């Protein structure tokens, strides 16, 4: 299923380089730079179940999350902002209902509803689909950054997973399951935040190249 030895080696390199792991001053500085606590709070307060009465407001906050996230590329931010302004009422309802279903109901349905709207505007991109969920539920959901995902699958030999640029819930669910399984193999201090954990995996890829 995966190369556990490489995962353990990555953990050893990480703690050797950053004693204390995510509580290391350098790691805390990185978290501060990425505004992790602020972004999690924004998503968790804005996307709680009772907030979904206004699709306009939900889409507005989704645009805010995308624009303020350090994980989304500078090329995709303005495109999503323009999309949020261009959507008609029906499209906003579909997008908001999709996020609501993903976070609070049937995930596959919600994912595909959001994907459908983005696809119509030629913006069916992994980061745009996954950034809001990972801030809302950081210990469970995952952020799909194509270059990192492809590197993680290859380096840690995650069998049965093949990345595709066209988003699908099937791949999202499978990759999320693998990430959450990988966390359980490592020190508990690495397990609380999947965006940070995937950052650790990305650092480990760079470390492996330089080893």
Q: What pLDDT digit, counting tens, does each position of 33-51 carry?
A: 889 899 999 999 999 999 9
Q: Where are the alpha helices (DSSP H) in the chain?
A: 4-17, 25-33, 36-46, 55-68, 76-86, 89-104, 107-120, 126-136, 146-155, 169-184, 194-210
pLDDT tier at 205, thresholds 50, 70, 90: confident
pLDDT score recorded for residue 192: 78
State the average pLDDT for the chain.
93
Pick from 75-89, 113-127, 178-192: least confident: 178-192
Residue that wins the pLDDT comparison between 21 and 79:
79
| 3-state SS assignment for residue 54 | coil
Quickly tell me which residue has 């261009």 as its tokens. 86
Question: Burial letters for 162-188: b for 16+ Cβ neighbours within 10 Å, e otherwise?
Answer: ebeeebebebbeebbebbbebbeebee
Kindly report the number of other CB atoms within 10 A of residue 158's CB atom.
Answer: 21
Using only C-alpha atoms, the chain has a radius of gyration, in whole angstroms, of 17
pLDDT per position as a tens digit, 134-170: 999 999 999 999 999 999 999 999 999 999 999 999 9
Q: Looking at residue 207, what is its pLDDT?
A: 59
Task: pLDDT band for 90, please (50, 70, 90 cuts).
Answer: very high
What integer pLDDT is reported at residue 203 of this predicted model? Answer: 84
């Amino acid at each position: 299923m995966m190369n556990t030895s490489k995962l353990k080696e990555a953990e050893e390199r990480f703690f050797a380089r950053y004693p204390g792991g995510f509580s290391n001053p350098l790691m805390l500085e990185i978290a501060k730079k990425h505004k992790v606590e602020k972004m999690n709070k924004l998503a968790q307060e804005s996307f709680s179940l009772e907030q979904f009465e206004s699709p306009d407001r939900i889409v507005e906050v989704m645009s805010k999350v995308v624009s303020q996230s350090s994980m989304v590329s500078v090329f995709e931010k303005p495109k999503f902002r323009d999309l949020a302004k261009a959507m008609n009422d029906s499209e906003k309802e579909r997008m908001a209902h999709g996020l609501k279903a993903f976070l609070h109901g049937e995930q596959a349905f919600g994912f595909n509803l959001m994907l459908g709207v983005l696809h119509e505007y030629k913006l069916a991109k992994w980061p745009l689909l996954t950034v809001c969920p990972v801030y809302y539920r950081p210990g469970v959901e995952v952020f799909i950054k194509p270059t990192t995902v492809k590197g993680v699958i290859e380096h840690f030999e995650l069998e049965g997973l093949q990345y595709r640029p066209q988003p699908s819930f099937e791949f999202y669910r499978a990759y999320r399951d693998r990430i959450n399984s990988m966390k359980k193999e490592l020190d508990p201090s690495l397990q609380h935040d999947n965006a940070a954990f995937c950052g650790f995996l990305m650092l480990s890829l760079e470390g492996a190249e330089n080893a």
